[in-house]
Every structure is written in C-alpha cells, then in structure tokens.
Structure 1
Amino acid sequence: MAKEIERKFLVKSDGWRSEIASSSVFLQAYIAGGEDRSIRVRIFDGKSARLTIKIGRKLLSRDEYEYDIPLGDAQDMARAAIGVVLEKTRHKIEHEGYIWEVDVYGGAYQGLVVAEVEMEHEDAMPALPDWIGREVTGDRRYSNLVMATEDLNGELVHGLSTTAG
C-alpha cells in the first residue's frame, strides 16, 4: 500500500515559473467518490492514462493506489465522469530537496493556481518557496473531488484565490 502525504497551498506570485523542471497537461475525471474515498482517471498529454484509488478521511495523508490503464479505457471513463472533468497543467519544481507540483487550472477553474508538496512523513517541514501563499491543506474546497462535483468556480477562482496571502 502506498501512502500519499501532501500539503497544499495557494500560489501568490509567478516566481515559480523560472524554476520549472517539467510540465504535463492532463484531464482528471472522477468515476466515483465518497466521504473517505475516490476513484479517478487521469489522461496525460492525450497519450497515456492512470487510474487512482484514494482511501482515507484526512486530506493530509491517505492510502493511494495507482495503475496505468489503456488510453481508450480512460477516455470512456472520463465520458462517464461525475461532475466536471478538471483540466490542468502540472509543473514540477525542485526546491530544497522536495518536488513541488504547481497546478495551473484551465476549463471551469481557469485562473486557479495551487501548489502541492509530497512529504515522507506527516511531521516533515519542507522549506516554503517565496511564491507560496496561504496553506489550504485540509480545506475541502480545494479537494479535486469536491471541485469536480460541486460548483466552486466563483468562490475559488474569483474569491479566495485572490487573497493568497
């Protein structure tokens, strides 16, 4: 069993753009979701796909299982998604020994920029880059499942993200 331990932040400036190591465009569609679990499919750059199952109530740390799947299967699943299919470009950035993932949303959440950092344990304290804003770890509104299944566009894109701090 794999464990996902991550913190999530709003991004307050474009300072990260000069540090990009790699980027990928993907679609993220939820097939099923519940209070403590979700099943999603991601299509990367229109060329490959992965199915992910997450189990756990805490947004900081959850069990995570990922499997590569055929692109055609992923496309079929995405057409049957619950809610909206999320569109984003993920940029990877290395900062003081940690890999940060900066997600720039398109589509329904155009304009929202969020950064995540995966950690080896819950007590890890990665150094925060100067472009990091307010922490939103545990704020269910920034859960991709919630974003896909509830219409939070006005609140996240036009409200909270402008106060990234």
Structure 2
Amino acid sequence: MGQETERRFLVNKALWEQLEKPEGTLYLQGYLLNENDRNVRVRIAGDKGFITVKGTGEGITSLEYEYEIPKADAEEMLVKFRPAGTEKIRYRLPASGGLTWEVDVFQKANEGLIIAEIELEQENQSFEKPAWLGQEITGEERYANASLALHAYKAW
C-alpha cells in the first residue's frame, strides 16, 4: 500500500536566504480531482512528469500512489484539465539519519510562502530540526498544496 508519513513546517525566510543550498527544481502541478478526502495531481518536476493519487489516512500518515508518466502527457493534462495549480522551486537538503528535507519556495499566487517537509518511516520517528525551521503546520489544511491551488497564500 502506498503511504506517506511526513511532518511539515514553515520556514524562516531570513535564515533560509542565508543558507547555502543546492540547485532547486521547478515544479508545476495541477489537480484533476481536488476534494476534501482525496485528490489526483499531475506534476512536472524538472524534465519528468508524474500523476499522484492521494487520500486521507491516520495521524500524519496519508495514502499516496505516485507514478511517472511521459512529460508530454503531463504537460497536456495541465493545459487541458487543470482548473488550478501551484508552482514552486523545490530544494532537497540532506538530514540526519538518511532523511531528506524537501523545501518548497512557492511562486506566483503563493509567493512568499516557504514550506519544509520531511518524510518519515514511522510517525514517532525523531529527527533533527534545523535552525531555519519555523512553526509546525503538519495537518493544517490551508497549507496543503491542493488547498493552495484553490486559495492562494497571497489572498489570505
């Protein structure tokens, strides 16, 4: 079964900007289905396309099934079917214990928002929190990408 167990945090912009970071990847994504308990997302990440089906789960674990698709198909779906979406630059930074921080710097209607997430193997797994992390937003629906596609951060 596809599952994702993650914790999410706001990022302190001033500290983030001072950090030396690897090259980021542009993510364009849109939602073919965007309901409270499930969504279907099409994403272009760099030179690859993906389709993802997400659903609710328990605690900080949710259902997630992601499959690579041809980038041309993803581009066509985003043009023809996407009522709303998000754009962001994603940075991957190594964390202790073999984990990875994924930091999303949102663009356009969500500009100004920076979110970091870390995917865990189990819900109670401990991890080091870097100094640039801010408030935890795990489970706060308004910060979900699917929600940001419909209710842009700049409009809050």
Q: With structure 2 as the length reference, what TM-score do the two structures score?
A: 0.89
Deviations 1:14-45 (A, max 9, x none): 26732x34521110111102221110011122
Indicate the residue corresponding to 1:5 in structure 2: 5
Cα separation, 2, equivalents of 1:24 and 1:58: 30
- Aligned 8 A contact 2:113 2:153 in 1: no
| Contact persistence 2:7–2:118 (CA under 8 A) | yes
| Number of matched pairs | 152
Distance in 1, matches of 2:90 and 2:83, equals 22
1:125 and 2:126 matched: yes
Shift of 1:142: 0.3
With over 3 angstroms needed to count, the CA separation of the structure-2 counterparts of 1:110 and 1:35, relative to structure 1, is same
Q: Tell me, in whole angstroms, the C-alpha distance in 1 between the residues paired with 2:148 and 2:11.
A: 17
| Matched-pair identity in % | 36
Distance 1:29 1:110 in 2: 17
Matches within 5 A, 1:90-109: 90-97=90-97, 98-109=99-110
Supply the distance in 2 between the matched residues of 1:15 and 1:23 (Cα, whole angstroms): 13
Deviation at 1:107, TM superposition (A): 1.2
Cα RMSD for the two superposed structures: 1.7
Deviation, structure 1 residue 70 = 1.4
Distance 1:21 1:150 in 2: 30
Q: Residue in 2 aligned with 1:163?
A: none
Q: 1:2 to 1:16 in 2, by over 3 A?
A: farther
Alignment map for 1:44-83 (pairs within 5 Å): 44-45=45-46, 47-57=47-57, 60-79=60-79, 80-83=81-84
1:17 and 2:19 aligned: yes
State the partner residue of 1:146: 147
Residue 77 of structure 1: SS of its match in structure 2? Answer: helix
Residue 40 to residue 153, structure 1, CA distance change in 2 (3 Å)? same
Amino acid corresponding to residue 34 of structure 2 in structure 1: G
Q: Matches of residues 33-44 of structure 1 in structure 2 within 5 Å?
A: 33-44=34-45
- Unmatched segments (≥5 aa) in structure 1: 156-165
Worse-matched range after superposition: 131-140 or 59-68: 59-68
Following TM superposition, by how much is the alpha carbon of 1:58 offset from its aligned partner in structure 2, in angstroms? 5.0
Q: Is the 8 A contact 1:58 1:138 kept in 2?
A: no
Measured after TM superposition, the shift of residue 126 of structure 1 is 1.2
Distance in 1, matches of 2:95 and 2:18, equals 10
1:88 aligns with 2:85: no
Aligned-partner Cα distance in 2 for 1:150–1:143: 10
Residues 68-103 of structure 1: per-residue CA shift (max 9 Å, x gap) = 1112211121122132x2111100011222200010
